A and B are shown apart, each in its own frame.
Chain A
């Protein structure tokens, strides 16, 4: 019954198209009058997509490591020059003892230490057995293990070469193909995520204050006693932000394609359609927040403090969702940008058609309908 039981006023007062247009005009004036907000609205997505698109990557490169070469022979030098060739490392040579290594870790200067003991090369040459120590600052487990894996691989490579590679019998070779992203670029993964994040958060943020602002300033009373259908008031609030968001979307797409070199393998039309759907979901969520709060501060705190981190994490572009514990995977389902991220990867990168993403589209659509219904139901036509 919750969805059928509309407030009386919504049914009584007629909806007039002319009035609606007048309302939309009023909202546009509100938005365009506030130049500073407008500037931020346009500047924000551009700055963020460029900044994050270029700067963010979960690759590990240029990490400072220290090599303690007590051996100083051909073998250790050969390995060190291999390490130097890798772009993961930024090598510093010095003869540190274990205490100094710990000190350097504590100062945060280096992430990894590789120690070649004295006589490394001669041990290897005479007894065919030598030892190396790789010490990682594992306070950051990701960087720590990745770097020590890289270093291990370099040493193993050297060892393989020592074998002189007499062609081994029964060799299984592996041919690996990196599908969708042959160069393993970080942007392929991050740009769609940042797009989802920026589109969703900006829309929610802007709409979430729209209605509560009129409540706080007292102008809502005037609107409610006038003979307009309150539904008009709510819907017309969303229209300017929808138009602005479409504009932002276009700019974001242009930047991602021309500056960040993102592919658009699928249909542009589908991409716009799906993005508009996300924008609508975000607007509905914003309206719901706006209708359920009684001050701008509360609305903003919900849409900023409450949503920023969860959206960042649960969209799935920084931390793969399938790695998360089961309950959190369930929670992630209520984050709209999570579905949009799947959609946009499918359309932009994989070039898939609608039949592969209808499920995600349906979920976003369902969310929009639900949020919009609840927010209109929550809209109070009598102020306390």
Chain B
């Protein structure tokens, strides 16, 4: 075991010797954790609307007032030309055009029926759906108000009403940061661990110092452990910085579940992630290769983790890829334990799978690392 001790000493010295890298390892995740969750917000608000009013009646201006008063819409322009409004839509100045036809008020009263036209920039389909939903609801309410002005409601109103009680559990105020912070933290820790680990062995290969290690009687798994342990410690540290300092002090997020459970999972997860890094670096010959590979994997890990887009909505084959992605498990575990207070019983499947990953990748890395070429 003394061989391992010296190796560890060497690795730690190498890490602490390079202040630029050390600073980056600590600064980059901290800054990103401070900024990114604020940007990652799905809530649709501030929908820009351009109104084309061919009527200019009391009713049309009342309708515009009702829409702006709702708080969801910002009136960007109010004019008479559809083409002018469409130009605004082309230039992304407005998301939505509402066209009120000529004689809207008069025809509504005399013909009992009128049509409004809504045009939406639907490139972002979800935003378009939500926006048109809001607007239709507002127009419906407005319609009911107008009707009430003209028709006195009968005293007995035999309309069946289904009352829906909507209840939100675990996140009463629908706070997005609570949801995003744990997930982004996972990604940052994964990046720190896997990049550094992937680049490390390759650097020794490229500079030639690996030869010196290869001619010593150090065992293969000692060498691998010597690379793994320092980055494992570093990953633990970065994670704690994120969870205990930034998440708690800045975002006020205190895990509902147990810390022991989170750290237990983290410990295992880091072994798996570092194993992937090691594996990459046993295959790569140059740092550039290792890095391209790490970049490729990392991008897939992040995009297919369910961090930003729901896994449930993916097609079947993509779900398989997500199931092979260790990041998706940790993102899931963090959200479950931190936000819902899930217990070991709830996440034992995650534990088993990550354990399997850890074993698989590290064994592969050890087998693939050859002292003689």
Asked whether A56 and B303 contact (CB < 8 A) given A136-B169, A308-B298, A323-B43, the answer is: yes
Interface set, chain B 70-112, CB cutoff 8 A to A:
89-92, 108-109, 112
Interface presence of A64 (CB below 8 A): yes
Interface presence of B192 (CB below 8 A): yes
Q: In the complex, what distance in Å separates the CA atom of A155 from the CA atom of B128? A: 22
Interface presence of B203 (CB below 8 A): yes
The residue of chain B having its C-beta at the shortest distance from the C-beta of A181 within the complex is B122
Minimum C-beta distance from B14 to chain A (A)? 11
**Which residues from chain A contact B343 at a C-beta distance below 8 Å?**
106
**Which residues from chain B contact A43 at a C-beta distance below 8 Å?**
296
Q: In the complex, what distance in Å separates the CA atom of A305 from the CA atom of B118? A: 43
Q: Give me 8 A-to-B residue pairs in the complex whose CB atoms sit less than 8 angstroms apart, sorted by A's number.
A: A136-B168, A137-B340, A186-B126, A188-B123, A296-B287, A300-B195, A319-B42, A356-B90
Q: Are A40 and B179 in contact (CB under 8 A)?
A: no
Asked whether A57 and B309 contact (CB < 8 A) given A133-B165, A175-B117, A308-B191, the answer is: yes
**Which residues from chain B contact A186 at a C-beta distance below 8 Å?**
125-126
Interface set, chain B 38-77, CB cutoff 8 A to A:
38-46, 48
Interface residue from B92, B150, B304 paired with A342 (Cβ < 8 Å): B92
Interface residue from A181, A202, A309, A350 paired with B128 (Cβ < 8 Å): A181
Q: Is the interface of B mostly helix, strand, loop or mixed?
A: helix
Interface set, chain A 314-345, CB cutoff 8 A to B:
314, 318-320, 322-325, 328, 331-332, 342, 345
Interface presence of A14 (CB below 8 A): no
**Which residues from chain A contact B160 at a C-beta distance below 8 Å?**
124, 128-130, 159, 162-163
Interface residue from B38, B135, B295, B309 paired with A324 (Cβ < 8 Å): B38
Minimum C-beta distance from A224 to chain B (A)? 21
Q: Are B119 and A139 in contact (CB under 8 A)?
A: no
Q: Are B285 and A36 in contact (CB under 8 A)?
A: yes
Interface presence of A95 (CB below 8 A): no
Q: In the complex, what distance in Å separates the CA atom of A305 from the CA atom of B188? A: 8
Q: In the complex, what distance in Å separates the CA atom of A313 from the CA atom of B195? A: 20
Q: Are A135 and B169 in contact (CB under 8 A)?
A: yes
Q: Is the interface of A mostly helix, strand, loop or mixed?
A: helix
**Which residues from chain B contact A322 at a C-beta distance below 8 Å?**
46, 48
Q: In the complex, what distance in Å separates the CA atom of A180 from the CA atom of B46? A: 21
Q: Are B340 and A105 in contact (CB under 8 A)?
A: yes
Q: In the complex, what distance in Å separates the CA atom of A34 from the CA atom of B263? A: 41
Minimum C-beta distance from A371 to chain B (A)? 20
Q: In the complex, what distance in Å separates the CA atom of A170 from the CA atom of B188? A: 57
**Which residues from chain B contact A304 at a C-beta distance below 8 Å?**
191, 195, 291, 294-295, 298
Total interface residues in chain B, CB < 8 Å: 120
Q: Are B176 and A141 in contact (CB under 8 A)?
A: yes
Interface set, chain B 14-31, CB cutoff 8 A to A:
18, 20-21, 24-25, 28-29
Q: In the complex, what distance in Å separates the CA atom of A356 from the CA atom of B92? A: 10
**Which residues from chain A contact B165 at a C-beta distance below 8 Å?**
131-134
- 1/0 contact string of A337-374 vs chain B (CB within 8 Å): 00000100110011010001000000000000000000
Q: Are A319 and B112 in contact (CB under 8 A)?
A: no
Q: Which residues of B are interface residues toward A (Cβ below 8 A)?
A: 18, 20-21, 24-25, 28-29, 32, 35-36, 38-46, 48, 89-92, 108-109, 112-129, 132-133, 135-136, 139, 142-143, 146-147, 150-151, 158-172, 174-176, 178-179, 184, 187-188, 191-192, 195, 199, 203, 206, 284-289, 291-296, 298-300, 302-304, 308-310, 312-315, 318, 321, 332, 335-336, 339-343, 346
Q: Are B303 and A313 in contact (CB under 8 A)?
A: no
**Which residues from chain B contact A314 at a C-beta distance below 8 Å?**
39
Q: Are B285 and A324 in contact (CB under 8 A)?
A: no
Interface set, chain A 1-50, CB cutoff 8 A to B:
34, 36-37, 40-41, 43-44, 47-48
Asked whether A34 and B289 contact (CB < 8 A) given A59-B313, A155-B162, the answer is: yes
Interface residue from A59, A138, A152, A320 paired with B164 (Cβ < 8 Å): A152
**Which residues from chain A contact B339 at a C-beta distance below 8 Å?**
139
Which among A143-151, A230-238, A251-259, A273-281 touches the partner chain? A143-151
**Which residues from chain A contact B43 at a C-beta distance below 8 Å?**
141-142, 323
Interface presence of A247 (CB below 8 A): no
Apart from A173-B116, A356-B91, what 8 extra A-B contacts exist at CB < 8 Å? Answer: A107-B346, A155-B164, A170-B147, A172-B143, A180-B121, A293-B20, A309-B187, A314-B39
Minimum C-beta distance from B187 to chain A (A)? 7
Q: In the complex, what distance in Å separates the CA atom of A275 from the CA atom of B355? A: 44
Interface presence of A381 (CB below 8 A): no
Asked whether A168 and B167 contact (CB < 8 A) given A301-B28, A308-B299, the answer is: no
Q: In the complex, what distance in Å separates the CA atom of A323 from the CA atom of B203? A: 43
Q: Are A63 and B187 in contact (CB under 8 A)?
A: no
Interface set, chain A 241-278, CB cutoff 8 A to B:
none
Q: Are B132 and A176 in contact (CB under 8 A)?
A: yes
Interface presence of A179 (CB below 8 A): yes
Q: Are A163 and B120 in contact (CB under 8 A)?
A: no
**Which residues from chain B contact A305 at a C-beta distance below 8 Å?**
24, 28-29, 191-192, 195
Interface presence of A383 (CB below 8 A): no
Q: In the complex, what distance in Å separates the CA atom of A357 from the CA atom of B206? A: 45
Minimum C-beta distance from B120 to chain A (A)? 6
Interface residue from B24, B122, B288, B315 paired with A302 (Cβ < 8 Å): B24
The residue of chain B having its C-beta at the shortest distance from the C-beta of A125 within the complex is B160
**Which residues from chain B contact A122 at a C-beta distance below 8 Å?**
none
Interface residue from B32, B48, B336, B346 paired with A309 (Cβ < 8 Å): B32
Q: In the complex, what distance in Å separates the CA atom of A53 from the CA atom of B140? A: 37
Q: In the complex, what distance in Å separates the CA atom of A106 from the CA atom of B170? A: 10
Q: Are B113 and A173 in contact (CB under 8 A)?
A: yes
Q: Are A134 and B167 in contact (CB under 8 A)?
A: yes
Asked whether A137 and B170 contact (CB < 8 A) given A55-B318, A59-B125, A331-B35, the answer is: yes
Q: Are B313 and A61 in contact (CB under 8 A)?
A: yes
Q: Are B151 and A320 in contact (CB under 8 A)?
A: no
Q: In the complex, what distance in Å separates the CA atom of A176 from the CA atom of B111? A: 21
Q: Are B39 and A34 in contact (CB under 8 A)?
A: no
Which of A54, A142, A152, A205: most chain B CB closer than 10 A? Answer: A142
Which of A140, A306, A349: most chain B CB closer than 10 A? Answer: A140
The 5 A-B residue pairs whose C-beta atoms are closest, nearest first, are: A184-B125, A55-B318, A138-B168, A178-B122, A139-B339
